[in-house]
Amino acid sequence: DWTMGAYREQMIEQIRAQVGDKQVICGLSGGVDSSVAAILIHEAIGDQLTCVFVDHGLLRKNEAQEVVAMFRDNYNIRLIHADESELFLGELDGQSDPETKRKIIGKLFIDVFQKHADTIDGAEFLAQGTLYPDVIESVSFSGGPSVTIKSHHNVGGLPEKMGLKLVEPLRELFKDEVRALGRELGLPQSFIGRHPFPGPGLAIRCPGEITREKLEILREADAIYIDQIRKHGLYDEIWQAFVAILPVRTVGVMGDGRTYDYACALRAVTSVDGMTADYYPFTHDFLGETATRIINEVGGINRCTYDITSKPPGTIEWE
Ligand code: XMP
């Protein structure tokens, strides 16, 4: 794509001119936007960039390892892997209110990011994967309730507090253009096409209290569900798909015995922008096969339901 090739060159010049010989820090979420921003900036200034990946212990199966391996091994980008799962899960212990859970995660995220950023000598810039729609949204929502989609990853207020200037090379781009730029930069399609994942992660897919046991069960079930979707060639038709583990145990039979385990809900939606959504019309065969796999392969789940709620009136996530 020649257009993106030209944009890439232009941005690299611009980043070099803006940053000079100073240090830049970048919060990496593992999502497409922050990844593309980091790789582009790295191409411009190399080791003057340090990325901070905050692992809150609420990621999907193998996600932290995959993100870290991709940036360290394939791109040779300086990366701090901040494994703060003990801290986050500790603070979340016993909390069941959705907004309280989000607030705890958002606050800790900023604290942790700042703590690690402070260890980088001479950092003068903070890089963010802000897109054009984010720019518009944060303007129209300013002063309003904190319902912006990226409330948690947006390290709002941090740049001023830390005396940092912003580097935002994707500010003029829409999502599809960021994907095109990602391809131009050599990111694998499997990464570029990834479904969106919320900042609070599995916390909002585990309604009610979060426990390590529930998170483990959820990770296993979710991995099987996504595997099924990929195997059936449906991944790219779906906006987002995930499992939620429900705060209820139900009775089942397995072999000769009675079971008393968690129920889970499968969710898959189509959407253009996440603002409205329709449930995805899987075939009954697909649903049956997937439920059987999850119940047989995941200890701790004995019942599987499919969520057919559209947005509105439902939301995509369960919390
Ligand atoms: P809902 O559940 O509100 O989600 O229909 C719409 C989109 O936003 C994502 N989402 C979040 N992303 N922090 C995020 O970074 C959040 O607190 C949050 N809540 C929802 C959700 O995954 C979907 O893509």
Residue 152: per-residue pLDDT: 43
- Residue 310 three-state SS: coil
| ipTM of model | 0.99
> Is 209 a pocket residue for ligand 1 (Cβ < 6 Å)?
no
34: annotated binding-site residue? Answer: yes
138: annotated binding-site residue? Answer: no
> Is 315 a pocket residue for ligand 1 (Cβ < 6 Å)?
yes
> Is 310 a pocket residue for ligand 1 (Cβ < 6 Å)?
no
> What is the sign of the dihedral through the CA atoms of 29, 102, 221 and 197?
negative
> Is 153 a pocket residue for ligand 1 (Cβ < 6 Å)?
yes
* Best residue for ligand 1 mutational test, from 130, 134, 149 (most atoms within 8 Å of Cβ): 149
- Residue 261 three-state SS: strand
Q: Which of 122-126, 141-145, 299-303 comes out lowest in average pLDDT? A: 141-145
> Is 137 a pocket residue for ligand 1 (Cβ < 6 Å)?
no
**Residue nearest to ligand 1 atom 3, measured at CA:** 315
Backbone angle region of 248, left / alpha / beta, with phi > 0 → left and psi within -120 to 50 → alpha:
beta
Three-state SS letters, 83-137? ECHHHHHHHHCCCCCHHHHHHHHHHHHHHHHHHHHCCCCCEEEEECCCCHHHHHH
301-318, pLDDT tens digit by residue?
999 999 999 999 999 999
According to CATH, what is the number of the domain 211-306?
3.30.300.10
Q: At 255, list the tokens.
A: 């072999």
Q: What does the alpha-carbon distance between residue 98 and residue 210 come to, in Å, rounded to a whole number? A: 11
Q: At 247, list the tokens.
A: 């705060």
241-294, pLDDT tens digit by residue?
999 999 999 999 988 999 999 999 999 999 998 999 999 999 999 999 999 999
Domain range 2-192, CATH class: alpha beta
User: What residue ranges do the domains of the chain occupy?
Assistant: 2-192, 211-306
pTM of the predicted model, to two decimals?
0.90
- Residue 167 three-state SS: strand
Query: How confident is the prediction for the chain on average, in pLDDT?
Result: 91
257: annotated binding-site residue? Answer: no
Which whole number is the average pLDDT over 145-157? 45
